[in-house]
Amino acid sequence: MTDRKAFIGATIFDGNQTHAGAALLTDDGRSSGIVPTDKIDSAYECINLNGGLITAGFVDLQVNGGGGVLFNEAPTVDSIKTICAAHQQFGTTALLPTLITDTPEITKRAIEAGLEAQSQNISGFLGLHLEGPHLSVEKKGAHSPKLIRRMTDHDLEILCEAKQQLENLLITVAPESVDNDQISVLSAAGIHVSLGHTNTSASRAKSAFDAGATSVTHLYNAMSPLTHREPGLVGAALNEAKAYCGLIADGVHVDPDAINIALKMKTSEGKLFLVTDAMSTIGTDQQEFTLNGRTITRNNGRLTLENGTLAGADLDMISAIRYMVGNTICDRDEALRMASTYPSNYLGTAKSHGSLSSGAFGNFVHLSEKLEILSVWEMGTQVH
């Protein structure tokens, strides 16, 4: 028997336009259309949400942890479950658990955990993001310099083999540690190659984009800046039409004026998307944790190593959206697209995630006028 539901009583934002007096339909957990409320077929069970806004579930392509778990410290399928569940309550219905630079053994275990999560169809799991170890020591950020290294042929083989089994694989690399031929091989294998943690020149970055790199990781942070004689990776990314850019919008990592500059360059192309870069603190009162044996402390929205270096973010996706809107950086609709439509477009999963279009998974968030989470639904079922 088909499970048919019609969600009524709330305004619906489909990613392009807003619908009032309409219903979001789901059939067996997938979106099947938006229709006027007086056109709902009697076969549908009506669920009245009593006001607020329905929007597509959020998609986060950089999540290091949550629920008290850091993926590096416990690269297991249980950790992935915990991380996905922790972010679910903040509207994220699909994410990439992210492994920060670590040993080959930890990387191997993370890939195995990702494959198991995929086989178990873990709610919220979308694939993996491997951020390192092939980065630049100069722009290491919180990554351990002892573990950063050049990519070898063996590394290349492991990544390509992993992609043959994983639906989605994103990697962050630095041109100093990965050459263009390797980027071309990775891209041809279907791996999304992002540039980050690098002091590369703009010309070298451009050649990496030409070779197959398609994005930059947390724009502005841990990368060569834009200056008047050397535009760096920031300049190259903003000037490259095909390059997507992830952005941490928490009031700590990037100044609002810098975000506005990026928006002016990327909004018309829909290529600036929000990421949380979240650590294990999300959904907990945890005040400190460890990464590669080093202590990271939580204090007033900042996560730092003992030397003051930022170490990921104490951020969930709905807070990033509220930051963008509350600081009048962009309007509500654009902020919602940056949290759902654009990351899905980048990853190539727009037909199933980050969308309310017919055929997509019935994953959506019910928000108040103040952009507070009222409820979260996955496959047409309330999960928070």
Question: For 162-185, how does the pLDDT look when each residue is reduced to its tens digit (9 = 90+)?
Answer: 999 999 999 999 999 999 999 999
Asked if residue 353 is part of any domain, the answer here is: no
Shared domain for 10 and 142, answered yes or no, is no
Asked if residue 365 is part of any domain, the answer here is: yes
Shared domain for 83 and 202, answered yes or no, is yes
Residue 269: predicted pLDDT: 79
Residue 85: predicted pLDDT: 98
Shared domain for 168 and 219, answered yes or no, is yes
Shared domain for 217 and 101, answered yes or no, is yes
Residue 59: predicted pLDDT: 98
Residue 2: predicted pLDDT: 79
Shared domain for 169 and 266, answered yes or no, is yes
| Domain tally, the chain | 2
pLDDT in tens, 247-288: 999 999 999 999 999 999 987 779 999 999 999 999 999 999
Shared domain for 97 and 211, answered yes or no, is yes
Which CATH number belongs to the domain containing residue 373 in this structure? Answer: 2.30.40.10
Asked if residue 136 is part of any domain, the answer here is: yes
Shared domain for 283 and 206, answered yes or no, is yes
Shared domain for 20 and 165, answered yes or no, is no
Shared domain for 24 and 114, answered yes or no, is no
Asked if residue 46 is part of any domain, the answer here is: yes
HEC string for the chain: CCCEEEEECCEEECCCCEECCEEEEEECCEEEEEEEHHHCCCCCEEEECCCCEEEECEEEEEECEECCEECCCCCCHHHHHHHHHHHHCCCEEEEEEEEECCCHHHHHHHHHHHHHHHHCCCCCECCEEEECCCCCHHHCCCCCCCCCCCCCHHHHHHHHHHHHHCCCEEEEECCCCCCHHHHHHHHHCCCEEEECCECCCHHHHHHHHHHCCCEECCCCCCECCCCCCCCHHHHHHHHCCCCEEEEECCCCCCCHHHHHHHHHHHHHHCCEEEECCECCCCCCCCCEEEECCEEEEEECCEEECCCCCECCECCCHHHHHHHHHHCCCCCHHHHHHHHCHHHHHHHCCCCCCCCCCCCCECCEEEECCCCCEEEEEECCEECC
Asked if residue 354 is part of any domain, the answer here is: no
Once rounded to an integer, what is the mean pLDDT over residues 101-106?
A: 97
Catalytic positions are: 277
Residue 1's pLDDT band, with cuts at 50, 70 and 90, is low
pLDDT in tens, 64-93: 999 999 999 999 999 999 999 999 999 999
Shared domain for 119 and 179, answered yes or no, is yes
Give the domain range for residue 9: 4-55+359-382
pLDDT in tens, 17-28: 999 999 999 999
Asked if residue 352 is part of any domain, the answer here is: no
Shared domain for 90 and 40, answered yes or no, is no
Asked if residue 327 is part of any domain, the answer here is: yes
Which CATH number belongs to the domain containing residue 101 in this structure? Answer: 3.20.20.140
Shared domain for 259 and 275, answered yes or no, is yes
pLDDT in tens, 110-143: 999 999 999 999 999 999 999 999 999 999 999 9
Residue 329's pLDDT band, with cuts at 50, 70 and 90, is very high
